Amino acid sequence: MSVQVKNWSVFFKKNLVLQNIDLEFNGHGIFAVIGPSGCGKTTLLKSINRTAELDNGFNYGGTILLNGEDIYQKNDVASIRRRVGMVFQTPVALPMSVRENVLFGPRYFGEKNKRKLSDICERSLKHAGLWEEVKDKLEQPAGELSGGQKQRLAIARALAAEPEVLLLDEPCSSLDPASTMLIERLLNQLSGMLAIVLVTHNLFQAKRVAQKTVLMMAGQVVEYGPTDQFFSKPLRQETADFISGLTW
């Protein structure tokens, strides 16, 4: 599994918001993306699953390779979005049952076999660490779940499409410490199966869960390296300042 971002730039109208980004996420594991508000973290994630182009005025330069394939040269955008799942900051529960929330992707892609759908639903909820809590309320509206449960539901929905890469945009920012720990444990388990790119404002979270960490500032990569070294012996002064809280 590999994502290679090469000389990647994004404009919204005339604004350059990502500038010549070179980054690789190789193999399974958790890759943390940190940086000040507005530096382009979300735009980077949305570039990797081809949802950034849904925004007005989007334009790009460079290439993004998914397992060696240039995703911007492919016509089948839906399949890219299936292979690269994304979970947003605010948990989104679609106005339907818990079960249908999980099965949204497989149904969209035409799966009709009831047995298969039911297996996908159970497996995805188990992987998302939510099965025990919702197995008796699969037909209830998903809107009735708690915030932490909705976040895990969003993860289950992404997993149901069997992605190769999972992009998470500040998934814990609205959660309490207990739900945050739950999600972190879950991400740890999932990272054995797929590559996870995690945007977080919580440096402790990056330190706890990520194998590699990247710092972005003003649309550029400042430093990217193994998390241990990144936090203990950063190579760049900007990184040292950022992690010591000087440039928040």
- Which residues form the interface with ligand ATP (CB under 6 A)? 12, 15, 17, 35, 37-43, 55, 57
Q: Rounded to the nearest whole angstrom, what is the least distance from the CB of residue 55 to Mg ion in the complex?
A: 13
Q: Rounded to the nearest whole angstrom, what is the least distance from the CB of residue 33 to Mg ion in the complex?
A: 10
If the CB atoms of residues 35 and 234 are measured against ligand ATP, the closer one turns out to be 35
If the CB atoms of residues 42 and 227 are measured against Mg ion, the closer one turns out to be 42
Distance CA 212, CA 32 (A): 6
**By CB under 5 A, residue 42 contacts Mg ion:** yes
Distance CA 241, CA 196 (A): 26
Q: Rounded to the nearest whole angstrom, what is the least distance from the CB of residue 110 to Mg ion in the complex?
A: 32
Q: How many residues bind Mg ion (CB under 5 A)?
A: 1
In the chain, where does DSSP find H-type helix?
41-48, 77-83, 98-102, 104-108, 114-127, 131-134, 147-160, 177-190, 203-209, 227-232, 237-243
Q: Rounded to the nearest whole angstrom, what is the least distance from the CB of residue 33 to ligand ATP in the complex?
A: 8
**By CB under 5 A, residue 43 contacts Mg ion:** no
Distance CA 70, CA 5 (A): 10
Distance CA 43, CA 46 (A): 5
| 213 three-state secondary structure | strand
Q: Rounded to the nearest whole angstrom, what is the least distance from the CB of residue 231 to ligand ATP in the complex?
A: 19
Tell me how far the alpha carbon of residue 55 is from its chain's centroid: 18
Q: Rounded to the nearest whole angstrom, what is the least distance from the CB of residue 196 to ligand ATP in the complex?
A: 17
If the CB atoms of residues 35 and 85 are measured against ligand ATP, the closer one turns out to be 35
Please state the length of the chain. 248
Query: What, of Mg ion, ligand ATP, none, does residue 158 touch, CB below 5 to 8 Å by kind?
Result: none
Amino acid identity of residue 32, one-letter, is A
Give the dihedral sign, CA 216/220/223/228.
Answer: positive
Structure tokens that stand for 52 in this block:
């950034």
If the CB atoms of residues 12 and 131 are measured against ligand ATP, the closer one turns out to be 12
If the CB atoms of residues 42 and 191 are measured against ligand ATP, the closer one turns out to be 42
If the CB atoms of residues 46 and 82 are measured against ligand ATP, the closer one turns out to be 46
Query: What, of ligand ATP, Mg ion, none, does residue 17 touch, CB below 5 to 8 Å by kind?
Result: ligand ATP
Binding positions for Mg ion, rule: CB under 5 A: 42
